[in-house]
Amino acid sequence: MNRFELIEQIKKTKSFLCIGLDPDLSKFPPHLLASEDPIFEFNKAIIDATKDFCVAYKPNTAFYEAYGVKGWISFEKTVQYIPKDKFIIADAKRGDIGNTSTQYAKAFFEAFPCDAVTVAPYMGEDSVKPFLQFKDKWAIVLGLTSNAGNIDFQIIKNEFEESNYETVLKRVSSWGSADNTMFVVGATNPTYFASIRKIIPNHFLLVPGVGAQGGSLQEVCKNGLNSDIGLLVNSARDIIYASKETDFAQRAGEKAYALQVEMSQWL
């Protein structure tokens, strides 16, 4: 999906909601556990209940890898089931030397029908650029994440007298363009959005941390929106685990709808 198509979907859906599909069997409704593929059955029900209220889905590959081959089969079935007009993000946080990154990119862009992959930029330009070589595909690069550990490396000042995450934003944005590069910026860092927008005014931001992690959608929108919307706000646990009973999909749909209504007021 290219930038124009993504923006059109946001306008059509009146939403910039991304739903994280992070399956954890210990949190599933018990009646699903007896099915042949409980992960896919869970995801399928969540997708059916929420697809009218979001523009993107973000399966985190760790939650599939944890179950071995069966988990990867569930991942493939899930990304194949997601409607074609939804933006699919493989949250894999890949990034390695160039020839290895090329294989990671081929995996998620050719073997699987994903539109984007999250990428860790620590190894530099040659680890990121392979993800930028695919038409209408995206690298979503870790910028300023929502976890408490971001203070260890991302916030600290470097020899350029700027925080490391600022250097990442400046360098990486020059390797691609706003048409194939996004950045992860956590909703738990709302005070940083205004300054981040001065560095990358046109790029889309993938924003985790709204909901269970305490991030404020209002603060994110106030400081993070740009003329093309420029945000994909992710919510996972608050939506997909809204209930552990047989009504789990219905409750997920209600949670997604509530966020869609709130988002529509900003469009």
Active site residues: 93
Closest CA to 146 of 179, 178, 183: 183
C-alpha span between 168 and 149 (Å, rounded): 17
56 alpha carbon, distance to own chain's centre: 8
Return the closest-CA partner of residue 224 out of 252, 249, 202, 255: 202
Q: Write the CB contacts of 170 (distance below 8 Å, at least 6 apart in sequence).
A: 199
> Encoding tokens for residue 136?
């209408």
Please measure the distance between the N-terminal and C-terminal CA atoms of the chain and give it in whole angstroms.
21
Six-digit token pair at 83? 């409607």
Distance between CA atoms of residues 39 and 78, nearest Å: 9
What are the C-alpha distances in Å from 90 to residues 127, 140, 248? Answer: 17, 10, 24
User: Residue 154 — φ and ψ, nearest 5°?
Assistant: -75, -40
What is the rounded CA–CA span in Å between residue 127 and residue 103? 11
